[in-house]
């Protein structure tokens, strides 16, 4: 199931030509992921405090397809591709009025405080992929 996060392009997101600066797409999809996790009822601050676990981006494969511009209304669409023991692969898109502007495959890892990979806790795995547990 897809999660959709709505946002607007502000002047600060653009270059002198009024086009979204390429690195800001990574910020947009980060916001989309944060809202997706929140929508699942996962409190990342509490997860870190109680279990010493955080999610970190390990890999991003990105395609810049068309430019977004100042004042555009955008949707960040987030979908789960796969969930492993300590890894989550997501597909994310930035869309403007049905037009795909940016696409990324993002690999997240669940990490312990010491920086090593940690298995996803069963309750988190169940929220991420209800049909997989």
| Pairing, β 99-112 against β 3-8 | unpaired
Catalytic positions are: 15
Task: Please say whether the dihedral angle defined by the alpha carbons of residues 58, 64, 68 and 74, taken in this order, is positive or negative.
Answer: negative
3-class SS string, 85-99: CCEEEEEEEEEECCE
């Amino acid at each position: 199931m897809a999660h959709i996060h709505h946002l607007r392009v502000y002047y600060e997101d653009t270059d002198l030509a009024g086009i979204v600066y390429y690195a800001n797409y990574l910020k947009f999809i980060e916001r989309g992921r944060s809202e997706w996790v929140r929508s699942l009822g996962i409190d990342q601050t509490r997860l870190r405090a109680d279990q010493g676990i955080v999610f970190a981006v390990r890999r991003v494969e990105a395609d810049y397809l068309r430019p977004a511009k100042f004042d555009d209304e955008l949707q960040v669409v987030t979908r789960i591709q796969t969930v492993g023991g300590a890894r989550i692969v997501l597909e994310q898109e930035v869309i403007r009025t049905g037009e795909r502007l940016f696409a990324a495959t993002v690999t997240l890892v669940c990490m312990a405080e010491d920086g090593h990979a940690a298995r996803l806790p069963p309750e988190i795995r169940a929220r991420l992929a209800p049909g997989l547990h």
